[in-house]
Structure 1
């Protein structure tokens, strides 16, 4: 029998005799040995060279060098995984895919484990959903699927699944903790959504004793084996293998046939961050020879980074793809809007204020037209209270959402109405700058210049009144808001701080909307008025009043 010296590790083909298998396990303990079931070989770490040689001599085996010749990986291209599989990818969902997104779906279908590193705003969520639908159509074995994501994105995933596929999905909460499997078994609901912090609550049956927290020692529930597909959104949250969260993620990935990871920042510190992701993809042992061999090759001692061109090639060859906005700009609209629905944390306080407002509006409706006009000011104040409460209830999720953009190394322009909200966000991001009414004109200009010119300044937080016009903030192609005004023109002008001459990328505008709050009505009304104004190409001086009237009608239905 031949033992293959691969340079980075050794490979011993699994013997047919049980006694030889036992001898291999005896000489090479589990911390230096992994078994690649797909290729039926034992993978031994390169540090065990003397033991491998001694073992081979004692058993009459030969050690054969099979080290690939040196390759200039900077000049090696990986062929794109573009194949139609007999499907019209563009018609998989209820809305058309961009050409680069159909290429992404093709890539997902080529690999059972896929890591999508596309730039923010390129539709990683859409590609993941489309690939799952494609697999179900082709092979009938992709459902049910589990989506693991940050808490702030659960409702967004649910909405995207519904809009794109028409399918319902279940968010795993305490109310369905005992019954959620029945939604698949009885009702055939194909998608389930859970946040990272709830993995233990829903899928871990028994934790190992202190000091023995290894993936293999965690006992997962029987229900965790239900899924055929698992998708991790913002997968860089799993980068630290010493955390429970990463161990739960890796452990849950052993069952599903298809595994997907979405993150624009797969490496945050050094190549070691990839270890849990590669384990989930199913290539850590079979391609890279295990944790020790990977670290020895690409980040010795878990620090630093080396052989990066080779690592990039190997990743792309075995399930990783990444596109940036500038590469697919021809396919993208200049500006897109995305609604991110968020559950608020102050529901009871909000409900009391909403009930008070509705009661006031009913009384207002009983009054004469002249009295109603005089009451409009008070109605605006009370509606403003609701808007502010919604913003306060979204703060935690907003910070998480903004952090995701900044972690990717990109800049963001973020808008709010109330100064208290601006200051609360600034406290969470000390390196950020502001443009508010409290900032002197000189400071506003200095903050704007710093944001535009300093790579280390990633976030600028603006109020609509002070930052909505007259400022060029094209250093960012990501725009977001936690509060909205009344006038479509004002919203568009705020967005256009990024979307103006000098912008080299498509601009992605994110609206953080409080679930079940006045935000939903305001966003829809503004969108309707925007469409109307665009159609008639006129001004908008009366739009604010008409939105208020329409909003009052909605609240008093």
Structure 2
């Protein structure tokens, strides 16, 4: 019996269609002259081979839908009867795409930047997307043509949250800059005074004073939280409760600090075991009732392991509500799901609590809604201040501290802006905040920073200046310069790796994912065992990378972005830390360094920071030093500040490469 002969199907006009809520992506066969039809409707052909929608036409919804029948007949006519597509099927394919929008269809490769503005609000700039425009308009933003950016009267965290919710962007696609900007009289922007400035050059500009006299209230509604109260736990009762636990010498004091107050901040230096102290304090205080833990998504597994290390039989649930679980661990993004069941928990532990510093962020509001229903609230962070004093206000408010009840304006007038004011605030925090430095760990061998001065070649300097003086907004140039300098340091990183001993291990912190990819390829070529971690990695993949680095002696390099791996992870197998790019705050830098410099580290930790001379590298380093001084004056006792400042200076050595 002969096989049936297969007939060639005639091609259709639309092979595939997607829709993101704003634009269509249409894949179609080649038709002579079709490009003119689509270009007239604002179409754009995606040529980049790595783009997920390579060889698709991207067309705005309103321009296509308004002339859909005309577009269909023009394409059909150009096809000269080669296509079988009917008007009905043509229309149905687009309707089906609209019915199931893929909001992240066109966000590949997008980068956005958000910077604070002097006075109030932020500046949003970066790659164009109609969704970005929609978010900015909904937030009553004003477009500044001179700087091709949006001025939005809201916080950076709120703007970022709205962009992520609207477009499905990854966190690393939105860079939060920390250089305060001010509007100039020609409509452009420049860094404001107050901290060391990052200057990119160009013609001088003069700032203009704001002309608006509109009164705006900055007060944000947050649920009222019960005031801090002393508990019934005496020192003797706590000592008895801690019998049988294996603890370091400093940890019983931290546990007692939490147990003796209904709410408190444990601000120990990174690596002193805040998680272990909080687990034990929460378990004792809860007395068999359920406990809610809020942490970063990357630390969920770490918290579960820590709970089971102390209480092997504990029932622990992650992310999905489980009424029978003694411990419920969730990330910040899931807080909204637990507002209605918050009453069942006796203790709320908030890890990396500085994430709640922004009162307008949705997860902060949900955090307050939950905290208002839970009698005991333990806050943990090794960096209570990332940039400025006001970041403590929301945490004080969340705890129920009397100072937190002050309006933000009054708080700023009393406690921010000068060393004297910061000392006053430090005195008010003594009973609420407990902070110990790593010198309580006699086994730690110390940490030393080494600055490496790097010179650019003539060609590299020429390229640097081309980027620096480009006719682009300041944020675009700043981001491009940081990326360029990080790429130059790849060769420096590989040279440094070649100098290490066989038993040395190193963490390479980058600010950009392409740098991670480049270093990975070079390590593979050189036969150096390594793992990588970036923001898009799953929780399981992250933990697998951490475990291999910690346990496999042949895995010597941990390549990562600071945003993805700079908090929470235990990487004590490393005795070296290299920064190819600097984060924007000293708190982020310290958090990243202390992935290696923490309890369990048996060797001296060497932090190497290559700084390229006569570039924004040195300006950013000066900015970090200025911010570090503010933090020192606020969270450290007055009598220790001079000694600590000298100690930090002594721990940073300049070397010449």
TM-score by length of 1: 0.43
Which structure features the higher share of helix residues? 1
TM-score by length of 2: 0.37
